[in-house]
Amino acid sequence: MTLTTALIAGLVLGGTYALVAMGLTLQYGIARIMNLAYGDTIITAAFAAFILQGGLAVNPLLGLALVVPGGFLLSYLIYRLILSHLVARASDRGALEVDSILTTFGLLFVIQGVLLVLFGGNYTSYSFLNVAVDIMGAKVAANRLLALALALSIGLTLYLLLTRTRWGTALRAVAVAPQSAALVGIDVNRAAAFAFALGGGLAAAGGVVISMYQTFTATAGVVFTMKALIVVIMGGVGNLLGALCAGLLLGVVETLVSTYVDPGLTLAATYAIFLVVLLWRPQGLFGRVAR
C-alpha cells in the first residue's frame, strides 16, 4: 500500500468522523448544550434511512432530503420544549453545562429505549453504493466517498455562512458572548435554538450516510457521541472548520498507523493524538482561548 493510497483511505475515513462531529460542535459551541444524546440522534436517522430504504424502497440519497429536515425539526422541538427551560434558569455557563449533561444523558436512554422497543437489539445494516471508485490508484467505496464529499461541502458552506453573512455573525456573537449578544438586539434564544436544530440536522445527515456502510444497533449511539466529542474538542469547541480538519486528521492518523505500525494500535493512536493536541493547544486546533 503506497503512501498516496493510505492518505486517500485516511481522508475518506476522516470524512465520516468530520461529518459526525460538525453537528455536535454547533450544538456545544453555539447553543452551549453538551448533548450526550447526540449519537442517538445519528442512530435514529440511520434507522429512519433503513426503514425508508428497506420498507418503502426510497433511495437513501432521497432519504437524506426527508431525514435531515426531520432531524432539524426534532432537535428544534427538543430545544424548545426541554432545553430552553434549562437555559432560562441557569445562572452561569457551568450550571447550564451540568444541567444539560444530566438532561441529555436521560434523553439518551429515552431515545435508546424507544428504538429498542421499535427495532429490538439486533444488528441492522443494508448496503447502498457499495461500489469501488478509483482515485489515483486507491480503491474507495462510493458510499464512504459520499460521506467525505458531504462533510467537505456542508463544512465549507456553513463556514462561509457563519463568517460571511449577517445571520452567521449573529450566531457567532451568541457563541462568544451570549449576554452581550442580547444587548445588540440578537434574539439569543432563537439563535441558540436554531444552532441546536442545525446540529440535529447535521447529525441526521451523518446517520443516513453512515447507515449505508456501517452496521448499527439501537444502543450504538454512545460510540458516535464519544468519537464526535474527541473531534470537537480537538478542533476547538464551536469551530466548524476545526471539526472538519480534526476529523480528517484523525482518519489519516488512524490509517497511517494501521498501515505502517499495527492495526491494533489505531485506538491508542487516536487518544495519543488527542492528548498531544490538548497539551499543545488546550483550546483545540482552531479554538480561541476562553475569556
Partner 1 sequence: MTYSKGGRCLPSFTALATILGLALAPLVAATPAGAQDRTSVKIGYAVSKTGANAGGAAITTIPNYRLWLHDVEKNGGLELPDGSKLPIELVEYDDRSSAEEVVRAVERLAGQDQVDFILPPWGTGFNLAVAPLFDRYGYPQLAVSSVTDKAPQFVQRWPRSFWFLGGGSDYTGALASLLSAQVEAGTINNKVAMVSVADGFGIDLVSAARPAMAEAGMDVVLDRTYPVGTNDFTTLLNEAAASGADTFVSFSYPPDTFALTEQAQVADYNPKVLYLGVGAGFPPYGRKLGDKAEGIMTLGGIDAKNAQNMAYRERHKEVTGEYPDLWGSVITYASLQMLQEAIRRVGLDREAVSAELSGGTFQTVLGETKLQDNRLRDLWLVGQWQDGQLVGVAPADRPGASEVILPRQPWK
Least distance between partner 1 and beta carbon 150 (Å): 17
Among 62, 95, 98, 127, binds partner 1 (CB under 8 A): 127
| Interaction between residue 35 and partner 1 (CB under 8 A) | no
The total of other beta-carbon atoms located within 10 Å of residue 284's CB is 22
Q: What's at 122, amino acid-wise? A: N
Which is closer to partner 1, CB of 84 or CB of 259?
A: 259
Q: If you search the block for the grid coordinates 459551541, which residue do you land on?
A: 29
Residues whose CB is less than 8 angstroms from the CB of residue 282 and which lie 6 or more positions away in sequence, other chains included: none
Least distance between partner 1 and beta carbon 244 (Å): 18
Among 77, 114, 121, 276, binds partner 1 (CB under 8 A): 121
CA distances from 109 to 83, 102, 216 (A): 16, 11, 17
Distance (Å, whole) CA 250 – CA 247 = 5
Torsions phi, psi for 85 (to 5 deg): -65, -40
| Interaction between residue 223 and partner 1 (CB under 8 A) | yes
| Interaction between residue 146 and partner 1 (CB under 8 A) | no
Among 262, 272, 276, 278, binds partner 1 (CB under 8 A): 262
Closest listed residue to residue 79, CA positions, set 161, 207, 198, 180? 198
Which among 88-96, 128-136, 196-204, 274-282 is the span making contact with partner 1, rule CB under 8 A?
Answer: 128-136
Residue 220 DSSP one-character state:
T
Least distance between partner 1 and beta carbon 34 (Å): 13
Q: If you search the block for the grid coordinates 432530503, which residue do you land on?
A: 65
- Give the interface with partner 1 as residue ranges (CB under 8 A): 1, 5-6, 9, 13, 102, 105, 109, 112, 116, 120-123, 125-127, 130-132, 139-141, 213-215, 217-219, 223, 254-255, 258-259, 262-264, 266-267
